[in-house]
Amino acid sequence: MVMLAIRDNLDGLSDEMKKEYKEHNGKFLLDVEAVDNFDLQDIKGLRSSLEAARGERDQAVLKLKPFEGLDVVKARDALKTVAEYDGSDASAKAQKALETQTAEIKAKSETDIKAANQRADKYRKQTADLSLDYAVRKALGEHKLMPKAADVLLPIVQKQVKIEESEDGTLKTTIINPETGHTRLSMKPDNTGPMQMDELIDGIKGDYSYLFASTDTSGTGAKTNTTGTPRSDGKPEITGKNVNAELTAAFDYADKNPDSP
C-alpha cells in the first residue's frame, strides 16, 4: 500500500500504519526522518520563492545587457572621479561659467531680435510712406491738373489716406476721416463700401477747382479768366487758357491762405 505524504484523516489505515503519521496543522503528515539532506517538507512556499528569485535574476540580466564588455574596475573609478568633480570648486566654476554664457547669449539674442524688429518697423514705415506718395500721385495723375498742382494737392490728399498692411503682407490704401482716423464710407448712391481714391479727389475738386484744368469747352465764356483775377469768393479762376498767369495767381492765393481749402 502506498503511503501518502499527507492525509486529511487516518481512516482505513491499520493501527501500525497510523503510528507512522503525526498530526500537523489539522492534517496528518507522514513522519519521515531526514537522511543525507533528503526530507519530507512543504515545498510550495519554497517553489514560489524560487520562481520569484529567477524572475529577479532575469530582470537583472536584462538591465546589465547594455554594459556587456564594460570594465567594472574602470567604471567604478570613473564614477568616483565624477562624484569628486561634482563636489569640487572646478565643478561650481564650470556651472557658473555655463550660466553666465547662457545669460549672455540670451541677452544678445534678445538685443538682436529687438534691433531686427526696429529695422523691420523702420523699413515698413518707409515702404508705407513711399507707397502712399506713389498711390496719391498716381490717382492725381489720372485727373487733368494745372502744372505743379500735384505738389499742392499731395499733402491735402495724403492726410486723408492711410496705407494698411493686409493679412497676406500686401499694402492697400484706405480713405479715412483725418480727425477720427475712421474709414470713410462711399457717398455714392447704392454704395455702402469704403470710399475710393477717385471719389476722394472728385470731392476735393469743389474746394480746389483752381488747381484743376477747366474741362468747359462750351465756348460760352462762363467763368473765363485769363489773367488769374480772383472770383467772387476770392479764389483765382483757372481755365487753362493763360496757364502762367492763372497758376501764379493760384500759388499766391495758396501761400497767403494756407488754411483755406
Q: Tens digit of pLDDT for each residue in 173-222?
A: 899 998 898 999 998 888 889 999 888 888 888 888 888 886 554 444 33
Please report the sign of the dihedral spanned by the C-alpha atoms of residue 208, residue 213, residue 215, residue 216.
positive
Global pTM reads 0.38
Whole-angstrom Cα distance, residue 144 to residue 202?
A: 12
Alpha-carbon distance 186 to 109, whole Å?
A: 48
Q: Which residues are CB-contacts of 237 (< 8 A; sequence separation ≥ 6)?
A: 210, 223, 224, 225, 228, 229, 230, 231, 246
Burial of 158 per CB tally in 10 Å (0-12, 13-18, 19+): middle
Average pLDDT of 121-130?
Answer: 75
Q: Which cell numbers in the block locate residue 76?
A: 567604478
Residue 129 one-letter amino acid: D
Nearest to 162 by CA among 151, 173, 152: 173
Q: Report whether pLDDT(17) > 50.
A: yes
Query: H or E stretch including 202?
Result: helix 197-205
Evaluate if residue 92 carries a pLDDT over 80.
no
Residue with cell 487516518: 10
Q: Tell me the three state secondary structure of residue 28.
A: strand
User: According to the per-residue pLDDT averaged within each range, which of 115-129, 156-170, 171-185, 236-250 is highest?
Assistant: 171-185
Whole-number Å distance between alpha carbons of 156 and 176: 12
pLDDT, residue 75, reads 78
How many Cα atoms occupy the beta-carbon half-sphere of 120 within 13 Å?
6
Tracing cell 574596475 back to the chain, one arrives at 73
Question: Using CA atoms, how far apart are residues 70 and 77, in angstroms rounded to an integer?
Answer: 12
pLDDT digits (tens, 9 = 90+) for 137-167: 888 888 888 888 888 888 888 898 888 888 8
Element (H, E) at 99: helix 89-141
Strand, helix or coil for residue 174: strand
Say if residue 253's pLDDT is above 50. Answer: yes
